[in-house]
Amino acid sequence: MSRQYLDVPYRAKDAAKALGARFDGAAKRWYVETGVDLMAFAAWLPAGVAAPDSSTGMALLPATDSELSGAKRGISLSRLLSGVSTAVARAFDEGVWTLVEVNDASMRNGHVYLDLSERDGQGQLIAKARGTLWASTAARILPDFERATGAVVGAGIKLLVRARPVFKSQFGFSLDIDAIDAAFTLGDLEARKKEIRARLRQEGVLDRNRSLTAPWDYRLVLVVAPQDAAGLGDFRKEAERLERFGLCRFVYAHSRFQGEGAAGQIVATATAALAANARPDALVFIRGGGAVNDLAWLNDYALARFICDQDIPVLTGIGHERDSTLPDEVAHLRFDTPSKVIAGIEQQIRRRAQQALIAWETVLGASAQATRDARLAVERAEAQVRADARDQLARARRDSQAARSAIAVRAVQQGHTASRRSLALMSGIRSDAEREVGDVRRHTPALLASIRSGALLGLSEGRARSQVACNAIVERAAVLGQSASHNIVRGMHQVVERAHGEIRRQRDGAQALVREITGQGPEKTLARGFAIVRTEAGSAVVSSAEAGQAATLTIQFKDGDAHVRPHPRPERN
Q: What is the DSSP string of 231-245?
A: THHHHHHHHHHHHHT
Domain count, the chain: 5
- In terms of domains, do 467 and 398 share one? yes
- Higher-pLDDT residue of 59 and 222 is 222
- In terms of domains, do 104 and 215 share one? no
Angle at 36 (CA atoms; ends 31, 37), nearest 5 degrees: 110
The tens digit of pLDDT for each residue in 5-59 reads 888 887 777 777 767 788 888 878 888 887 777 777 777 888 766 655 544 443 3
| pLDDT grade for 309, boundaries at 50, 70 and 90 | very high
Q: Which of 41, 71, 90 is the last residue of a domain?
A: 90
- Is residue 478 in some structural domain? yes
- In terms of domains, do 499 and 416 share one? yes
- Is residue 413 in some structural domain? yes
- In terms of domains, do 231 and 311 share one? yes
Give the separation between CA 390 and CA 475, rounded to whole angstroms.
Answer: 38
- In terms of domains, do 512 and 369 share one? yes
The tens digit of pLDDT for each residue in 344-371 reads 999 988 888 888 888 888 888 888 888 8
Predicted structure pTM score: 0.45
**Residue 396 contacts residue 491 (beta carbons within 8 Å):** yes
- In terms of domains, do 81 and 117 share one? no
Residue 254: give the domain boundaries.
Answer: 194-336
| pLDDT grade for 289, boundaries at 50, 70 and 90 | low
| pLDDT grade for 320, boundaries at 50, 70 and 90 | low
- In terms of domains, do 69 and 86 share one? yes
3-state secondary structure (DSSP) of residue 390: helix
| pLDDT grade for 182, boundaries at 50, 70 and 90 | confident
Give the largest Cα separation in the chain, rounded.
Answer: 225
- Tell me which of 71-80, 180-189, 215-224 is least confident: 71-80
Q: How much of the chain, in percent, has pLDDT values that exceed 90?
A: 17
For residue 111, pLDDT over 70 is answered with yes
- Is residue 344 in some structural domain? no
3-state secondary structure 53-108: CCCCCCECCCCCHHHHHHHHCCCCHHHHHHHHHHHHHHHCCCCEEEEEEEEEEEEE
Mean pLDDT of the chain, nearest integer: 81
Give the separation between CA 498 and CA 69, rounded to whole angstroms.
Answer: 145
| pLDDT grade for 520, boundaries at 50, 70 and 90 | low
Residue 75 Ramachandran class (φ > 0 left, ψ -120 to 50 alpha, else beta): beta
Q: Which residues contact 301 (CB under 8 A, 6 or more apart)?
A: 196, 199, 200
- Higher-pLDDT residue of 451 and 90 is 90
Looking at residue 465, its amino acid is: R
Give the separation between CA 351 and CA 411, rounded to whole angstroms.
Answer: 88
- In terms of domains, do 34 and 171 share one? no
- In terms of domains, do 327 and 234 share one? yes
The CATH number for 381's domain is 1.10.287
Q: Which of 35-39, 50-54, 451-455, 553-557: highest mean pLDDT? A: 553-557
**Residue 206 contacts residue 200 (beta carbons within 8 Å):** yes
